[in-house]
Amino acid sequence: MSGLGYTVPAALSVIAVCALELGVLRTGLFRKPAYWISMAIVLGFQIPVDGWLTKLSAPIVIYDEQHTSGIRFPFDIPVEDFLFGWAMVTAVLLLWERQRPRAPKEDAS
Protein backbone atom coordinates (compact mmCIF):
# COMPACT_ATOMS: atom_id res chain seq x y z
CA MET A 1 0.00 0.00 0.00
CA SER A 2 1.59 3.22 -1.13
CA GLY A 3 -1.29 5.61 -0.48
CA LEU A 4 -0.06 7.78 -3.31
CA GLY A 5 -3.25 7.50 -5.34
CA TYR A 6 -5.72 8.40 -2.63
CA THR A 7 -4.15 8.95 0.80
CA VAL A 8 -1.68 11.66 -0.19
CA PRO A 9 -4.23 13.74 -2.14
CA ALA A 10 -6.72 13.34 0.73
CA ALA A 11 -4.19 14.61 3.26
CA LEU A 12 -3.12 17.42 0.93
CA SER A 13 -6.75 18.50 0.51
CA VAL A 14 -7.06 18.90 4.30
CA ILE A 15 -3.81 20.88 4.44
CA ALA A 16 -4.90 23.08 1.52
CA VAL A 17 -8.27 23.90 3.10
CA CYS A 18 -6.65 24.72 6.44
CA ALA A 19 -4.07 26.92 4.69
CA LEU A 20 -6.85 28.64 2.74
CA GLU A 21 -8.70 29.51 5.94
CA LEU A 22 -5.76 30.36 8.16
CA GLY A 23 -3.66 32.16 5.56
CA VAL A 24 -6.07 33.73 3.08
CA LEU A 25 -9.77 33.84 3.90
CA ARG A 26 -9.62 34.18 7.69
CA THR A 27 -13.37 33.81 8.14
CA GLY A 28 -13.10 32.51 11.69
CA LEU A 29 -15.19 29.51 10.71
CA PHE A 30 -13.18 27.05 12.83
CA ARG A 31 -14.06 29.07 15.96
CA LYS A 32 -17.81 28.92 15.37
CA PRO A 33 -19.81 26.25 17.22
CA ALA A 34 -22.28 26.17 14.32
CA TYR A 35 -19.50 24.90 12.03
CA TRP A 36 -18.66 22.00 14.35
CA ILE A 37 -22.35 21.16 14.78
CA SER A 38 -22.68 21.15 10.99
CA MET A 39 -19.70 18.83 10.68
CA ALA A 40 -21.24 16.45 13.24
CA ILE A 41 -24.45 16.39 11.18
CA VAL A 42 -22.49 15.70 7.99
CA LEU A 43 -20.61 12.90 9.75
CA GLY A 44 -23.89 11.48 11.03
CA PHE A 45 -25.05 11.02 7.45
CA GLN A 46 -21.67 10.17 5.94
CA ILE A 47 -21.01 7.18 8.20
CA PRO A 48 -24.09 5.11 7.31
CA VAL A 49 -23.98 6.01 3.62
CA ASP A 50 -20.23 5.46 3.21
CA GLY A 51 -20.46 2.35 5.36
CA TRP A 52 -23.10 0.91 3.06
CA LEU A 53 -21.21 1.89 -0.11
CA THR A 54 -17.80 0.60 0.96
CA LYS A 55 -18.58 -2.41 3.19
CA LEU A 56 -16.11 -5.17 2.44
CA SER A 57 -18.80 -7.88 2.50
CA ALA A 58 -20.60 -6.47 -0.58
CA PRO A 59 -19.03 -3.20 -1.73
CA ILE A 60 -20.68 -0.92 -4.23
CA VAL A 61 -17.60 1.31 -4.39
CA ILE A 62 -14.31 -0.59 -4.61
CA TYR A 63 -10.98 1.05 -3.85
CA ASP A 64 -7.65 -0.21 -5.10
CA GLU A 65 -6.03 -1.02 -1.76
CA GLN A 66 -2.60 -0.23 -3.23
CA HIS A 67 -3.60 3.42 -3.31
CA THR A 68 -5.04 3.77 0.19
CA SER A 69 -3.62 3.63 3.69
CA GLY A 70 -5.58 0.46 4.39
CA ILE A 71 -7.16 2.05 7.47
CA ARG A 72 -10.91 1.47 7.47
CA PHE A 73 -13.11 2.67 10.31
CA PRO A 74 -16.01 2.41 11.09
CA PHE A 75 -17.98 -0.03 8.94
CA ASP A 76 -15.04 -0.59 6.57
CA ILE A 77 -14.99 3.07 5.46
CA PRO A 78 -11.57 4.12 4.14
CA VAL A 79 -10.26 6.92 6.35
CA GLU A 80 -9.45 8.89 3.20
CA ASP A 81 -13.19 9.31 2.55
CA PHE A 82 -13.47 11.32 5.76
CA LEU A 83 -10.49 13.50 4.81
CA PHE A 84 -11.86 14.30 1.35
CA GLY A 85 -15.36 14.80 2.75
CA TRP A 86 -14.14 17.19 5.43
CA ALA A 87 -12.09 19.17 2.93
CA MET A 88 -14.93 19.42 0.43
CA VAL A 89 -17.61 20.48 2.92
CA THR A 90 -15.29 22.86 4.76
CA ALA A 91 -14.08 24.50 1.53
CA VAL A 92 -17.67 25.16 0.47
CA LEU A 93 -18.54 26.61 3.89
CA LEU A 94 -15.42 28.79 3.86
CA LEU A 95 -16.29 30.21 0.45
CA TRP A 96 -19.89 30.72 1.58
CA GLU A 97 -18.74 32.60 4.68
CA ARG A 98 -16.34 34.70 2.63
CA GLN A 99 -19.01 35.92 0.23
CA ARG A 100 -21.57 36.76 2.94
CA PRO A 101 -22.22 40.47 3.37
CA ARG A 102 -20.43 41.88 6.38
CA ALA A 103 -22.11 44.09 8.94
CA PRO A 104 -20.89 47.65 8.55
CA LYS A 105 -18.33 48.73 11.14
CA GLU A 106 -19.58 51.43 13.43
CA ASP A 107 -17.59 54.64 13.51
CA ALA A 108 -16.02 55.24 16.93
CA SER A 109 -16.21 59.03 16.64
List alpha helices for the chain, DSSP H. 7-19, 33-54, 79-99
The 3-state DSSP class for residue 84 equals helix
Q: How confident is the model at residue 65 (pLDDT cuts 50, 70, 90)?
A: confident
Model pTM? 0.86
pLDDT, mean of residues 26-43: 97
Interatomic CA distance for residues 6 and 101, integer angstroms: 37
- In terms of pLDDT, which residue wins out, 35 or 101? 35
Residue 100 has pLDDT above 70, yes or no: yes
